[in-house]
Amino acid sequence: MNKPAQVWNQRYQAQPLAVDDAWLWQWQSLLPLPSGGQALDLGSGDGHETGALLALGWQVTAVDISEQALARCQAKHPPAHALLADARDLSALPAHSFALVIAHLSLHYFDQADTLKAFTGLQRLLTPSGLLLGSVNAEDDFNYGAPKDASNWATVLVDGLPKQFFTEAKLREALGPGFEILQLNKRQSLRYGAAKSVWDFAARVQA
């Protein structure tokens, strides 16, 4: 088992890891009508978004690198399909199979090459005009390890895990020409106690 998976398994043995901040609801006006559609919850953790998506009528595949997280997610949300996989290699999933991908705080653990690979991989999974909703650490997330200058793509080791902190320019680069950016907002989250600075984004695969 790789180091990040070990760290996340240990974290999920202690609960709760984060409060459910109902993050998905801010995107309500953008969400397509599920009509039995397929959604991917990438880095699902113990399933806050998986639960919300199921409640909305989506069929949900929950992907995480941590077995502990997936076991919890599956116990809380039995209809979800749980898949142990790394966000950088989702080749086990068929192309164009998801109308919606959620990546809530799960795409900020990689260097530049792996980040670009992960975002490109999501383009492959989404249907034409499919929607990606995500949230990543912002460059001024100082309470959670952001360096003074996050303008380069160096990762920072925080509590044994490599972390990436995004400037707006880096996030735009990650989304690349393959996604049309619909929304990009800096926000303070209180889900872990101390204020956390994040970029929330909504993007559509270029048709």
Helix (H) or strand (E) holding 75, with range, is helix 67-76
Nearer to ligand SAM, 62 or 150 (CB): 62
CB of 207 to ligand SAM, least distance (A): 27
Distance CA 27, CA 14 (A): 30
Question: Quick check: 205 and 191 in contact, CB under 8 A?
Answer: no
- Within 17-76, the residues that bind ligand SAM by CB under 6 A are 18, 43-45, 48-49, 64-66, 69
Task: Write the DSSP symbol of residue 183.
Answer: E
Asked if 145 interacts with ligand SAM (CB under 6 A), we say no
Site stretch for ligand SAM (CB under 6 A), options 53-61, 92-100, 102-110, 140-148 = 102-110
Shortest-Cβ-distance residue relative to ligand SAM: 45
Helix (H, G, I), strand (E, B) or coil at 26: helix
Terminal-residue alpha carbon distance, the chain: 38
With CB under 6 A as the contact rule, which of the stretches 24-32, 84-92, 176-184, 193-201 interacts with ligand SAM? 84-92
Q: Is 86 in the site for ligand SAM (CB under 6 A)?
A: yes
Upper half-sphere CA count for residue 2 (Cβ side, 13 Å): 9
Tokens 């900020």 appear where? 108
Binding site for ligand SAM (CB under 6 A): 4, 8, 18, 43-45, 48-49, 64-66, 69, 86-88, 104-106, 109
